[in-house]
Amino acid sequence: MEAPAGWRCRPGGRLDMSHGFVRHIRRNQIARDAYERAVRQARGRARGRLTPTPSRPRRPDQQVYRPRRPGAAGGPGGDANPGPPPADTRGPRLFCLEYEGDDGHVTAVIVHQGDSAEEVTRRVCARSPLEPALRRALCQRVQDELSKRRGTG
């Protein structure tokens, strides 16, 4: 079998690669690989240069709404007095007495070490009136709690 006149075939069935087409393809592939490698390295260096400060200014701290406690002085359900006497004259806080009336309203009174049972009972009765028998029972209970916490009982 002989090849036609326009064909370039070598003996042994191989293609004639002397035209250089494949060399151009290989050169383009090598150049593309080198370019992609350079781009990847440039991206890696750019990532390493991050500054510690944020790029945009931080939002200022937002104010948070904190509702007043119902038993706080001056608020609804609080003391009718402008404020309690300073805590340092009555001593440290011992406990918080909470009394729930028949109507479901809770009266909270903070009891200090220097308070007397009669004074605490008077403060509770100022906010929710009590019968004389309940008032005496409350006074006795407050006296027991005070003596327990003061270490005299």
pLDDT tens for residues 16-47? 667 787 888 899 999 999 999 999 998 887 66
Average pLDDT over residues 51-65: 64
Q: Using alpha carbons only, what angle is made at residue 97 by residues 88 and 87, rounded to the nearest 5 degrees? A: 10
Rounded CA-CA distance 129/75 in Å is 20
User: Hey, how many other C-beta atoms are within 10 angstroms of the C-beta on 107?
Assistant: 17
- pTM listed for this prediction: 0.41
DSSP-assigned beta bridge partners for residue 110:
96
What are 95's strand-pairing partners?
A: 111
- Residue 140 pLDDT > 90, yes or no? yes
